[in-house]
Structure 1
Amino acid sequence: MPKDASGILSEIKKGYISKKLKEGTRADQRKLDEFRTMRIEPNFIPRAQGSAFVNLGKTKVLVGVKVESGEPFPDTPNQGVLTTNVEMLPMAFPTFEPGPPNEESIEIARVVDRGIRESKMIDLEKLCVEPGKKVMIVFVDIDVLDYDGNLIDACTMGVVTALHTATYRVDEASPETKLPVRSMPVSVTMAKIDDELVCDPDVEEEQMSDARLTVTFTEDGHIRAMQKGNSGSFSMDQIKKGIDMSEVVGNKIREYIKQVI
């Protein structure tokens, strides 16, 4: 949860959320492991090389992909480059401000990027044109249009969809080809509220939580990345429960993404 979004929830609403959790449900009547209604539109920006619009509950993000040639990093001369950026637009939430990326947007970009990178979603070696001299660089830009919680998962859905549908050219004379994508990672983020884990926390649940856990799985059932957020802690049993929950829920999300692309 962005730090500047805290302190908004009333004590009455906090009490209501806690009461519902004790009853085994949530303020919006969802089950603890239930995601909000999601809608993903691939190729949302016709002129982009890859794009996707994600509507998760009231959270809305737009992802654009641009691929162009450049120089590789010195320590990976045979690999292309992936770079991910998140911008929280001021219109997305009352306390968001214009300016360079803040600490929260940088953290979201890193968590999303780590899930994509550690899953080996893109075969970066196939993006090498001339070792040590020329590779293709994949720029992923994420704009947060409306914030109502769980930006990490909404952004991951958008990035995965956009990369799966993205195309590029090595140069103007080359044919258009798809990015060398070889997996479909899905992240599931859970918030801990009163020692209960809830998937896909909305903004009010994020304000109630003291710890966040994001687990990224690929379709082969392997965990590719895990990230803890906020100052609270998790017991080993809660972590195991979160892992099990994220795999089951993540598989459902993955099937939906496959349908839309």
Structure 2
Amino acid sequence: MTTSKITKERVEKYLAEGKRFDGRKLEEFRDLKIETGISENAEGSAKVTLGNTEVIVGIKMNVGTPYPDSADSGNMMVTAELLPLSSPRYESGPPKFPAIELGRVLDRAIRESKFIDLKKLCIVEGEKVWTVFIDVYSLNDDGNLLDAAGIGIVAALKTAKIPKYDSEKEKVLFGDWTDENVPLSTEVPLSLTAHKIGEYLILDPTKEEEDLCETRVTIGSAKGSISSMQKGNLESLKIEEMEKAIDLVDNAYGGIFKKIEEQLK
């Protein structure tokens, strides 16, 4: 959606002064609220509110066959649905590029960080493994859905329980859970995105700011160790801008991680 030249000039004027329309600093996130256990039927679930952006994440598990090249490991899949109720930009029907991109970026961040210990999800090597399905739904898009969804995935996984499995009947007992958590690493991956407007890099843009961004880079990391990186939009980033983006994300990680831990207690 296009934004007027006047709005762009106003935003860049504010950024030059080190501030934004809502009073935040360039690297400052909006208020973050996390609610877990919002679905009685999911293995794990979370609702994340980041400013006015809202997303729901649900975890479902089922038993299937492993991939041939990882016979002793479970599977995982992230899908995203951008609901029309969350923005007039989104339409019903098959997923379009924004939803596909969001799912793939977050899938890569979780997969490459090895946050889920997939080997512990093996039931019978080469025959039966658990598959973790991670579903993301947008409720309101006021910018930075990527980061909000990434936080929601972490929160939902950290509170998820493995359902019971009847090995004799080869049947998952949905709605009846074990006391066993989904096996996770202690290194929590967060996908945080730096957005470029003019010559400035910012974190957690509102939708108005996001519409002005020439490019963005989403960095998946855990305590300073980068596991994934994905650039979006058409414009390029200079090496020094990439370095600054990494620094911004690295500096923001601790504060976001602390808020997640506090709200999941």
Q: Name the SS for the 2:68 alignment partner.
A: coil
Unaligned runs of 5+ in 2: 168-176
Task: Tell me what 2:236 maps to.
Answer: 233
TM-score (norm 2): 0.92
TM-score (norm 1): 0.94
Q: Name the SS for the 1:169 alignment partner.
A: strand
The answer to whether residue 244 in structure 2 is matched with residue 250 in structure 1 is no
User: Given the alignment, which residue of 84, 89, 99 partners 1:95?
Assistant: 89
What is the correspondence of 1:171-182 to structure 2 with a 5 Å cutoff?
A: 171-172=165-166, 175-182=178-185
1:119 deviates by 0.7
Native 8 Å contact 1:127 1:135 kept in 2: yes
What is the correspondence of 1:66-85 to structure 2 with a 5 Å cutoff?
A: 66-85=60-79
Unaligned runs of 5+ in 1: 1-5
Amino acid at match of 2:233: N
Distance 1:96 1:198 in 2: 25
What is the correspondence of 1:44-63 to structure 2 with a 5 Å cutoff?
A: 44-63=38-57
Percent identity of paired positions between Structure 1 and Structure 2: 41
User: Given the alignment, which residue of 139, 142, 153 partners 1:145?
Assistant: 139
Task: Tell me what 1:203 maps to.
Answer: 207
Distance 2:70 2:255 in 1: 35
1:154 deviates by 0.5
Distance 2:65 2:164 in 1: 13
Native 8 Å contact 1:51 1:166 kept in 2: yes
Distance 1:156 1:142 in 2: 9
Task: Tell me what 1:42 maps to.
Answer: 36
The answer to whether residue 122 in structure 2 is matched with residue 118 in structure 1 is no
Q: C-alpha offsets along residues 160-210 of structure 1, whole Å, 9 cap, x if unaligned? A: 110011001350488441100113101211110111100011111111111
Amino acid at match of 2:252: V
Amino acid at match of 2:55: V
Native 8 Å contact 1:136 1:170 kept in 2: no
Distance 2:80 2:41 in 1: 20
Task: Tell me what 2:154 maps to.
Answer: 160
Distance 1:253 1:23 in 2: 25
Task: Tell me what 1:218 maps to.
Answer: 222
The answer to whether residue 24 in structure 2 is matched with residue 20 in structure 1 is no
Native 8 Å contact 2:64 2:128 kept in 1: yes
Native 8 Å contact 1:42 1:260 kept in 2: no
Distance 1:105 1:14 in 2: 26
Distance 1:16 1:79 in 2: 52
Task: Tell me what 1:64 maps to.
Answer: 58
More strand per residue: 2
Native 8 Å contact 1:191 1:198 kept in 2: yes
Worse-superposed segment, 10-19 or 58-67: 10-19
Q: Name the SS for the 1:224 alignment partner.
A: strand
Cα RMSD over matched residues? 1.3
Native 8 Å contact 1:164 1:179 kept in 2: yes
Distance 1:212 1:201 in 2: 11
Q: Kindly tell me the number of residue pairs found equivalent between the two proteins.
A: 254
Distance 2:234 2:25 in 1: 25
